[in-house]
C-alpha cells in the first residue's frame, strides 16, 4: 500500500481499487469494468498540477 500512497493515490482510491484487482505473477490485473476509467481520472488529478509548472 505504501507504494500506492507514494504514487499519489488517496487512501479512498486505494480502498476502491484493491477489491477490483487480482495479482497475476507480478502484475495487478483489473477485474472491475470501471477500474481503468477511475485510475485515468486519478492520473489526471495527480499530473495536472505538474503540467501547470512545466514538469
- Cα dist. 47→44, 53, 55 in Å? 5, 10, 9
Within 13 Å, how many C-alpha atoms sit on residue 30's CB side?
Answer: 10
Domain ranges within the chain, ordered by starting residue: 2-52
pLDDT of residue 36: 87
Percent residues over pLDDT 70 in the chain: 87
Query: In the predicted model, what is the mean pLDDT of the chain?
Result: 84
Q: What is the pTM of this model?
A: 0.60
> Cα separation of 14 and 11, whole Å?
5
Amino acid at each position: 500500500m505504501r507504494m500506492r500512497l507514494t504514487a499519489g493515490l488517496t487512501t479512498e482510491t486505494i480502498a476502491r481499487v484493491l477489491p477490483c484487482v487480482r495479482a497475476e505473477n507480478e502484475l495487478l490485473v483489473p477485474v472491475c469494468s470501471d477500474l481503468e476509467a477511475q485510475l485515468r481520472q486519478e492520473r489526471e488529478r495527480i499530473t495536472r498540477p505538474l503540467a501547470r509548472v512545466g514538469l
